[in-house]
Amino acid sequence: EVGEPDFATPAPIVAAGQQALAEGKTRYTPAAGLASLREAIAGHYAEHFNAKVDPARILVTPGASGALLLASQLLVECGDRVLMADPNYPCNRHFMALAGAEIDTVPVGRDSGWQLTAPLIERHWQAKTRLAMLASPSNPTGHTLDAEALTKVIDTVAAKGGDVIVDEIYQGLNYDDAPLSATSLSDDAFVVNSFSKYFGMTGWRLGWLVAPEQAVEPLTRLAQNVFLAAPTPSQHAALAAFTPECRDILETRRATLKQRRQVLLDGLVELGLAPDLPPQGAFYLWLDISRYSRDSQAFCERLLVEENVAITPGIDFAVQGGEHHVRIAFTNDVARLQEAVVRIARFVSRL
């Protein structure tokens, strides 16, 4: 079970990539990326988020992973502490650990909207805490922070002399409220995004980082030494992602994912497996399976073997309580999701 929808990359993006290859656009770009792509990303923020982002503050990276690698290496030193919600995406904390940080995971739930909030940061901040890392929409829960909550987080961390990284790679895949970006609230947050999820370019390995002005120069030096530049054909292809033609395709896909979300929610509620708060974004449900099992790894293995349904054990994401939860993705078509619900129902009836 992989966080990748069954949609192909939109045709305008593919065509732009093919044209770039045909024209021999395969040489290195500047370490921070094509100027035209950085300008297009800045235009995206201005048009859809009312955010004024200087293209000079944008670094194009090999996937969001490249952006996280740069940010973690710049901001964290051995012995520093990092606050993250629990559950969280494991690679995010692994990047911080690679940089030498100690990770303090803060259990979240319904009361906090499954997010790391300002009061939680205030409560768990320590003398060696260096930064707080958030994800909105989040993986694995799909929950978001609204403007008020995110502003309070940024202000709280700033008052403590720390930094904030906001993982926005599922931005655009919002189902109930308009998407929000931290770039519209602060110039001081480090904002990570990707062409993988909303834009449908998972295999093209392209993302970006919006950084405070003073961080751009050291981040660029890091990029030159770590990966030199993001893939050139992918950068040229991504220019087409911001066209009206492509936007129409992407918004149609978002509506499809919203329908799939509802199909799963409707089916799982009858099994007592629906989440306590429906996800507001991304394409996952975070399910409490404690009425059926307290071993998420065994639950997922048996479900796969006995019913050929693949979901992910919660222990992949949660330091505490992961054995009681699983993540299920609504990345397949409605018919397959409905069949999956039937098979899950059959499976849990035997437990």
Helix (H) or strand (E) holding 209: strand 207-210
Phi, psi of 327 (to 5 degrees): -110, 130
User: Residue 225 belongs to what domain range?
Assistant: 11-242
Backbone phi, psi, residue 190, to 5°: -90, 115
| Total of domains in the chain | 2
Query: What is the Cβ-side half-sphere exposure of residue 75, based on CA atoms within 13 angstroms?
Result: 29
Looking at the fold, whether 131 and 257 belong to one and the same domain comes out as no
Residue 61 belongs to some domain of the structure: yes
Q: Are residues 45 and 26 in the same domain?
A: yes
Two structure tokens written together for 253 = 């896909």
Same domain, residue pair 31 and 148: yes
- What b/e readout covers 115-147, taking b as 16+ CB neighbours within 10 angstroms? bbbbebbeeebeeebbbbbbbbbbbbbbbbbee
CB 219 within 8 A of CB 70: yes
Sheet holding 284-288, edge to edge: 284-288, 325-329, 312-313
Separation between Cα atoms, residue 75 and residue 78, nearest integer Å: 10
Which CATH number do you get for residue 309? 3.90.1150.10
Strands 129-135 and 81-86, how do they pair?
Answer: parallel
Q: Does 4 map to a domain?
A: no
Tens digit of pLDDT at every position of the chain (351 positions): 778 999 999 999 999 999 999 999 999 999 999 999 999 999 999 999 999 999 999 999 999 999 999 999 999 999 999 999 999 999 999 999 999 999 999 999 999 999 999 999 999 999 999 999 999 999 999 999 999 999 999 999 999 999 999 999 999 999 988 889 999 999 999 999 999 999 999 999 999 999 999 999 999 999 999 999 999 999 999 999 999 999 999 999 999 999 999 999 999 998 999 898 999 999 999 999 999 999 999 999 999 999 999 999 999 999 999 999 999 999 999 999 999 999 999 999 999
Which of 242, 275, 302 terminates a domain? The answer is 242
- Number of neighbouring beta carbons within 10 Å of residue 290: 12
Alpha helix (H) residue ranges in the chain: 11-22, 35-49, 63-75, 90-98, 118-124, 147-159, 216-226, 232-238, 244-269, 296-307, 334-348
